[in-house]
Structures are given as structure tokens and as C-alpha cells.
């Protein structure tokens, strides 16, 4: 057997670009335009270098205590890891490898099919309707399932599905783990978190990357029944006993506790999102109502690929997927007000130029 044939090759997830040049307006990976909490900054500046001599706390107590206090969930029902990507990757391994297909929408976070492929979990994608909406009954089928995962608000559409829909799916699937990925919930919609007291098959996953401006720190967490969280810890501890480093545990706890700052940041982003929505509409873009920190928009005449390329020439990065149904859409992160002004000015020019050609 050739060496090549003994190696596992897999098609990985492609993250949005992280350009190194300066002067770029970066609206392609849903990062927050505002700095992290000042409490986080103070805490990080005070960490003694000496404290890195030891391995970090494998149980991440400081961070989990902070999460427990802020969200009112007992610590035994909280798991934290290196970004929600790692939490989700381990959750797929822990909950979804038991046979049957995993169900998720055809248009959703594009990491889900990659993890499924990594663990060889069969998948059944469920088409969203023409307005990109999820229908609960599509997930209430009698088939044998490995599990269900729903991003709410969904990515890249920004659409929020009500808790009644989530509850119908939970009720119709006893004994099957349903993960609700709430990466964007701080920007709109009601969290499914209170439902974890009512359903033993619900896991809610969140992140500090978007609303808490800490994409670079890599903190994600899950809430769920203790039995499922214990299983997640056991899988993690069979893989790496120290996933979160000391700075993330201590700094993350400070950031999580600063709920006033979180609220202020989210309010600013929501206000800018609504202003951007008005500007886009006036230029002939259509988009589903966004409950996230991005807008998923399509122009009525100018193809998405052309707008994407023209924005890039002007050093404005947004995200686009060359996929069926969504090829003409651009996912535009809500940036600062100044970035939004620059984006709107660039789009006006581009639409005027290209619009004249069609
Ligand atoms: C950004 C994102 C994540 C991953 O976030 P982390 O930075 O790994 O915490 C997970 N799910 C969705 C839907 C996302 O958009």
C-alpha cells in the first residue's frame, strides 16, 4: 500500500480570510468592530507571567463560575472549550455517532457537514423554504436519527426561528440530542436556554467570539443536562485535558461577567444593522430580516459575484458562497458606523456602474 493510501485526507472547512495587510474594511467573518470589555483588558494585564508555569485548571472553574452566575445555570451543566467550533466538534463526536442521519438545514453553518464527514456521520439536509425559513414538521419525522442541529439565528441567513419551533422539534424527538447553536443570539431573538430545564435532549451552544469581541481568545460553551455535559467532559478528557489556556479561563471569566458592556455593544451593533438595512433596501437589495450581526443580501439586478469582486478591489471584504440558491447573496458583517458609511458609499458607486450595464 502506498503511503498516500494510508493517510486520512479530508476536505476541511474554509474559514473567511484573515488578511494581513492594513487598510482593509473587514466585514467577512462576523467579528465585532468594538474592543472587548475594559474589565477583560484589566484582568489580562494583571495576569502574572509566573501563573503560566503551571498547567491551567482542567475544570475551568473561574470561567464556569462566571457563566453559572451570569446565566443562572448550575456549573455541572456547563461545558466550555476553545471556541464554539471545538465545543461543536466534540459534541458531534459525543452525541451524533450513534447511527442514523444527522439532520440540519441545507443552508446553514458550513462547518456542520465537515464535522459530519470527519466522524463519518450520515447527514440528511432539510431544505429551507424559499424565504429561508425552517419548518418544524420537517424535523418531526419518525425516522431513526443521530441528532439535529439548528443554528438560531441561522447563519448565513440571519433569520431567527421562534422558540415554539424549537420546542416542537424537541418534543417530537425524545431520546435524540438537539443542539441549538446560538452564536448570534445576543443580537436578536429569545434564547432556548430556559428550555434546558424542561427537555433532557437539548444542548445550547454559545460563543464569546461575536457579541463579546473575543474571536481571538477562542472561548465557546455549552449548556445542557448534566448527563450530556458529563459525557462531553469525558470525551474531551480522552482527547486533551487542557483545552482552554489559563489566560482564556481568567480573561474569559472577566468578559463574561461584564454584562453591562455586552448589552451596550449589542445595542450599538443592532442600531447600525438597522441603519445598514435601510441603506441596502434603498439601493435595491433584498434580504431576510436579520437577528444577527450581519445581513445576507442580494441585489435585484447586479450579480453577487460582481459586487463581491468590486468591493474587494476597494479593499472591502465580505463573504460569499458559490453554492446553489445563495450564489447571488453577500453576507455582510455589521461593522462600526464609519465602516458602514464606507461600505454604503462603495456599494452606491458599484451599483451605479454595474446597474448601468444591465
Ligand atoms: C462563528 C460561528 C461559530 C463558531 O464560533 P467560535 O469562534 O468557534 O466560537 C459557530 N456557529 C456559528 C453558526 C457561527 O457563525
pLDDT > 90 in the chain, percent: 94
Q: Count CA within 13 A, CB hemisphere, residue 261.
A: 17
| CA torsion through residues 165, 152, 10, 127, sign | positive
The residue whose CB lies within 8 Å of the most ligand 1 atoms, and thus the one to mutate among 32, 83, 248, is: 83
Q: Give pLDDT tens digits for 155-197.
A: 999 999 999 999 999 999 999 999 999 999 999 999 999 999 9
Q: How far apart are CA 55 and CA 260, in angstroms?
A: 32
Question: 1 C-alpha vs ligand 1 centroid, how far in Å?
Answer: 39
* Chain mean pLDDT for the chain: 96
Residue 122 grid coordinates = 450520515
Question: 352 C-alpha vs ligand 1 centroid, how far in Å?
Answer: 35
Q: Give pLDDT tens digits for 139-153.
A: 999 999 999 999 999
**Which domains does the chain carry?**
17-35+260-353 (3.90.1150.10), 38-43+53-257 (3.40.640.10)
Q: Give pLDDT tens digits for 102-152.
A: 999 999 999 999 999 999 999 999 999 999 999 999 999 999 999 999 999
Report pLDDT for 357.
Answer: 64
Compute how many other C-beta atoms are within 10 angstroms of the C-beta atom of residue 96. 25
**Is it the case that residue 249 has pLDDT exceeding 60?**
yes
**Is it the case that residue 352 has pLDDT exceeding 70?**
yes
Report pLDDT for 339.
Answer: 98
Computed on alpha carbons and rounded to an integer, the radius of gyration of the chain in Å comes to 21
**Is it the case that residue 348 has pLDDT exceeding 90?**
yes
Q: How far apart are CA 280 and CA 274, in angstroms?
A: 10
Report pLDDT for 200.
Answer: 98
Q: What are the b/e assignments for 24-41, b being 16+ CB within 10 Å?
A: ebbbbbbbbbeebbebbe
Burial class from Cβ neighbours inside 10 Å (0-12, 13-18, 19+) for residue 277 reads: middle
- Measuring from atom 12 of ligand 1, which residue has the nearest CA? 183
**What is the three-class DSSP state of 349?**
helix
Report pLDDT for 262.
Answer: 98
The residue written with cell numbers 473575543 in the block is: 214
Q: How far apart are CA 158 and CA 210, in angstroms?
A: 13
The residue written with cell numbers 419518525 in the block is: 142
**Is it the case that residue 236 has pLDDT exceeding 90?**
yes
Q: Give pLDDT tens digits for 195-216.
A: 999 999 999 999 999 999 999 9
Measured in degrees and rounded to the nearest 5, phi and psi for residue 69 equal: -65, -45
Q: How far apart are CA 13 and CA 115, in angstroms?
A: 9
Q: Give pLDDT tens digits for 292-325.
A: 999 999 999 999 999 999 999 999 999 999 998 9
219 CA: nearest ligand 1 atom? 9
End-to-end CA distance of the chain: 56
Strands 178-181 and 147-151, sheet pairing: parallel
Instruction: Tell me the average pLDDT across 245-262.
Output: 98
Report pLDDT for 356.
Answer: 64
Q: List residues near ligand 1 (CB under 6 A).
A: 30, 83-85, 109, 151, 155, 181, 183, 207, 209, 215, 220
Residue 346 grid coordinates = 462603495
When pLDDT is cut at 50, 70 and 90, the band that residue 331 belongs to is very high
**Is it the case that residue 99 has pLDDT exceeding 90?**
no
When pLDDT is cut at 50, 70 and 90, the band that residue 17 belongs to is confident
Question: 204 C-alpha vs ligand 1 centroid, how far in Å?
Answer: 13
Question: 261 C-alpha vs ligand 1 centroid, how far in Å?
Answer: 21
When pLDDT is cut at 50, 70 and 90, the band that residue 225 belongs to is very high
**Is it the case that residue 358 has pLDDT exceeding 60?**
no
Instruction: Tell me the average pLDDT across 22-46.
Output: 97
Measured in degrees and rounded to the nearest 5, phi and psi for residue 326 equal: -120, 10
**What is the three-class DSSP state of 147?**
strand
Q: How far apart are CA 61 and CA 203, in angstroms?
A: 20
When pLDDT is cut at 50, 70 and 90, the band that residue 240 belongs to is very high
Q: How far apart are CA 143 and CA 101, in angstroms?
A: 9
Query: What size, in residues, is the chain?
Result: 358
Q: Before 204, cis peptide (omega within 30)?
A: no
Amino acid at each position: 500500500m502506498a503511503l498516500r493510501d494510508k493517510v486520512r485526507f479530508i476536505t476541511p472547512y474554509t474559514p473567511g480570510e484573515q488578511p494581513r495587510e492594513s487598510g482593509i474594511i473587514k466585514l467577512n467573518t462576523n467579528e465585532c468592530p468594538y474592543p472587548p470589555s475594559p474589565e477583560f483588558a484589566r484582568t489580562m494585564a494583571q495576569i502574572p507571567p509566573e501563573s503560566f508555569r503551571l498547567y491551567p485548571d482542567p475544570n475551568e472553574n473561574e470561567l464556569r463560575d462566571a457563566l453559572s452566575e451570569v446565566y443562572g445555570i448550575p456549573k455541572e451543566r456547563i461545558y466550555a472549550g476553545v471556541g464554539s467550533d471545538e465545543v461543536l466538534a466534540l459534541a458531534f463526536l459525543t452525541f451524533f455517532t450513534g447511527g442514523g442521519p444527522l439532520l440540519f438545514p441545507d443552508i446553514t453553518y458550513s462547518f456542520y457537514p465537515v464535522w459530519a464527514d470527519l466522524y463519518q456521520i450520515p447527514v440528511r439536509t432539510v431544505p429551507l423554504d424559499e424565504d429561508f425559513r425552517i419548518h418544524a414538521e420537517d424535523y418531526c419525522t419518525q425516522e431513526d436519527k443521530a441528532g439535529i442541529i439548528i443554528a438560531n439565528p441561522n447563519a448565513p441567513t440571519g433569520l431567527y426561528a421562534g422558540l415554539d419551533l424549537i420546542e416542537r422539534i424537541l418534543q417530537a424527538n425524545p431520546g435524540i440530542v438537539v443542539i441549538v447553536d446560538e452564536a448570534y443570539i445576543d443580537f436578536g431573538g429569545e434564547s432556548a436556554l430556559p428550555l434546558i430545564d424542561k427537555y433532557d435532549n437539548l444542548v445550547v451552544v454559545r460563543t464569546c467570539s461575536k457579541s463579546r469581541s473575543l474571536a481571538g481568545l477562542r472561548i465557546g460553551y455549552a449548556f445542557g443536562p448534566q448527563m450530556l455535559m458529563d459525557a462531553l467532559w469525558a470525551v474531551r478528557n480522552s482527547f486533551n485535558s487542557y483545552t482552554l489556556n489559563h489566560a482564556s479561563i481568567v480573561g474569559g471569566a472577566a468578559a463574561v461577567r461584564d454584562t453591562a458592556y455586552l448589552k451596550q455593544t449589542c445595542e450599538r451593533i443592532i442600531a447600525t444593522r438597522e441603519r445598514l438595512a435601510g441603506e441596502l433596501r434603498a439601493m435595491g437589495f433584498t434580504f431576510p430580516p436579520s437577528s444577527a450581526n450581519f445581513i445576507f443580501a442580494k441585489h435585484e439586478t447586479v450579480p453577487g459575484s460582481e459586487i463581491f469582486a468590486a468591493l474587494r478591489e476597494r479593499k472591502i471584504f465580505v463573504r460569499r458562497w458559490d453554492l446553489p440558491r445563495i450564489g447571488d447573496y453577500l453576507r455582510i458583517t455589521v461593522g462600526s458606523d464609519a465602516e458602514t458609511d464606507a461600505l454604503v458609499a462603495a456599494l452606491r458607486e458599484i451599483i451605479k456602474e454595474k446597474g448601468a450595464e444591465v
